């Protein structure tokens, strides 16, 4: 059963990679999302600004960023949960 699951995972990965090389923007975004999910995030910098444009905080490392209606959250490179409520959040891939 484990070999079957591994074969299915390998096939899904190969299909994702093949789709990612077709050049369409949505396929490329999908491939990057799958890569991020499987590899613990993307190398990125998250910067928090106040509404006057001043930097309140910045985090860099390999992590996933999530959001809902009221907050942006992620586990930083040290594994600590960061929850941001308010301000302007800019996430950039390094």
* Count of alpha carbons within 13 angstroms of residue 87, beta-carbon side: 20
Where does the chain have alpha helices with state H? Answer: 2-20, 25-38
Instruction: Considering only residues 82 and 15, tell me which one the structure prediction assigns the higher pLDDT.
Output: 82
* Dist CA 87 CA 90 (whole Å): 10
pLDDT tens, residue by residue, 15-46: 666 555 556 777 776 776 666 666 667 788 99
Q: Average pLDDT of 44-49? A: 94
Mark 29-49 as b/e (b = at least 16 C-beta within 10 Å).
eebeebebeeeebbebebbbe
Q: What is the pLDDT of residue 28?
A: 72
* Count of alpha carbons within 13 angstroms of residue 44, beta-carbon side: 18
For the chain, what is the mean pLDDT?
80
Does residue 78 have a pLDDT over 70?
Answer: yes
């Amino acid at each position: 059963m484990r070999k079957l699951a591994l074969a299915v995972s390998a096939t899904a990965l190969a299909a994702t990679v093949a789709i990612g090389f077709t050049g369409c923007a949505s396929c490329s975004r999908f491939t990057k999302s799958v890569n991020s999910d499987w590899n613990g995030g993307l190398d990125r910098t998250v910067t928090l600004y106040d509404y006057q444009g001043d930097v309140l905080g910045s985090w860099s490392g390999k992590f996933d960023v999530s959001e809902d209606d009221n907050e942006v959250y992620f586990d930083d490179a040290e594994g600590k949960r960061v929850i941001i409520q308010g301000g302007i959040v800019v996430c950039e891939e390094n």
